[in-house]
Amino acid sequence: MSFALYGVGVSGGIAIGRAHLASHAALEVAHHTVPKDQVSNEIARLDTAFSAVREELEALHASVVSGPAAAEYGAFLDLHRMILDDPTLSTAAKTYIAQNQCNAEWAITQQMEVLMAQFEEIEDPYLRERKTDVIQVVERVLKVLLGHPGYVPVQPKRDGDSILVAHDLSPADVIQYKQHAFTAFLTDLGGLTSHTAIVARSLNIPSIVALHLARRLIRDNDVLIVDGGQGVVIVDPDEHVLSEYRLRQSQLELEKQKLKRLKTTIAATLDGTVIELYANIELPQDVEQVKENGATGIGLFRSEFLFLNRASLPDEDEQFEAYRIVARKMRGLPVTIRTFDLGADKNLDSAKRVAANPALGLRAIRLCLAEPQMFNTQLRAILRASRYGQIRILVPMLSSISEITQTLHLIENAKQSLRNDRIPFDEKIQVGGMIEIPAAALCLDMFMRKLDFLSIGTNDLIQYTLAIDRADDTVAYLYDSLHPAVLRLVAHIIRSANRTGTPVAVCGEIAGDIVFTRLLLGFGLRMFSMHPAQLLTVKREVLRTNLPDIIALAQKILKADDPDRTHTLLAKLNS
């Protein structure tokens, strides 16, 4: 019987194949009391299980030596080893056994629940989803304790048409599955920033997460159609549907091949206006993908990713090396480094600050100013790297003139310290600000007097404008990029910046969504920054656009109050 399942598409494309169901360990375990004289044996049994898992992870790490996502896999495995060695898991579980005289399986799952509750309190969606890594590590330990194989059984390779269906996947599992050339991933759990999603995107494989019951409803060897762009899985489709999707699959592949031809084409509209298409990156190794897609610069280097998933902060030399690698690889093209956008809840153990609403609390530039020594370390690293390319400093979440003044003062202090140390740097390095708070958008003039360029962070701008917690699924339906207030703020920022000749870019999600490309061009935007994988699609849209034809329609959309009319006009604009 044919039926469809709906989830969150995290990697686009269409795959057609047969289901391959992955087994997974249940985390429900029995609870029983251990005699007092057997407690030490139970603790030793847990230690042995941890050691076995550690060896598994080390073996997997050793097997990852090359490939397009080798660095990504290695980082994931490092994270799992770090979780395994973290005393909040291992030591606490052993203490639980000693205090409660219980079996090791029960103790480790109870400690996992404690950690899960702590992760649920984290505001940042990326960090919150790291709870799945904890679950996956605990799952491995349980497999050893329960006498199951540590590895997910690997089936004989099929003909490259297998679609993996799992309740959840760890990065380590994906490493093994990768050898079998699966054409798509489907999971019951996960989100846009889950590791499964990250891996799928890095491998350019159609993937859908949050399907909830896929593992239960789909049978092994079922014929599946996976539409990663729409987040739809069709189980056991009839021949008519199969034919339709095969045709769409061929068309998508043809389009992908055509897009590659645009890599070296200058992004210019039909009337000859050149548009800068920059890329967003998280780590230095992302530069390869940036170059493959022909970006003319890096518009957003999210430097905070250098600080995540580790026990200690990166020192000045480590940061300097990361920034220098990116600058050199980009060979003189702009590299915009955003100073760390961390928050009070983001792995700064030394800070020990907890806010009731972290999105409105001590994060981004507020944290930088509260931790001047840590900020100075990063500023010195960026400045030192500036002599190796065209590096720019981007300051996140500015809301007041005093924050700009303090930031510029600290940058000058960092410069002077380098002069005192006789370390060269770019004396004229540009400093820009992210406009992602309505207060900043409404008082733009005072920001432009102090800053060299602006970058609009639409994700947070929408969150703060509409009072929508972007991490809260229950209000996700209110997160509206086309809300009149959002569009008017974005248009106001672009118009104001253009009037004063201040360079302005959009680096939020809408910059890489072709639904918004012409609208932003019509508002006057000439610089976009997006995930590298989106760049050629946006470039194609730019090449098809004639600015004189769209400006009036973009202004009509700006004045529209009715959502239906907005969507109608937008469809007309993009037709």
Mind telling me the catalytic residues? 195, 507
C-alpha separations of 317 from 200, 226, 368, 382 in Å: 32, 45, 19, 10
Question: How many angstroms separate the first and last alpha carbons of the chain?
Answer: 38
Specify which residues 274 forms β-bridges with: 268
For residue 564, count CB atoms less than 10 angstroms from its CB and return exposed for 0-12, middle for 13-18, buried for 19 or more: exposed
The set of residues, in sequence order, having a beta carbon less than 8 Å from that of 445 and lying 6+ positions away, is 496, 500
- Dihedral angle of Cα 18, 19, 22, 23, to the nearest 10 degrees: -120
Let me know: does 352 contact 290? Beta carbons within 8 Å. no
Matching residue, tokens 């500036």:
386
Q: Beta strand 453-456 with 430-435: parallel, antiparallel or unpaired? A: parallel
Determine the angle formed by the axes of helices 484-500 and 547-559, rounding to 10 degrees: 130
- Dihedral angle of Cα 295, 300, 304, 309, to the nearest 10 degrees: -30
In this structure, is the dihedral angle defined by the CA atoms of residues 554, 556, 558 and 563, taken in order, positive or negative?
Answer: negative
Q: Beta strand 453-456 with 504-506: parallel, antiparallel or unpaired? A: parallel
The set of residues, in sequence order, having a beta carbon less than 8 Å from that of 309 and lying 6+ positions away, is 75, 78, 79, 82, 130, 347
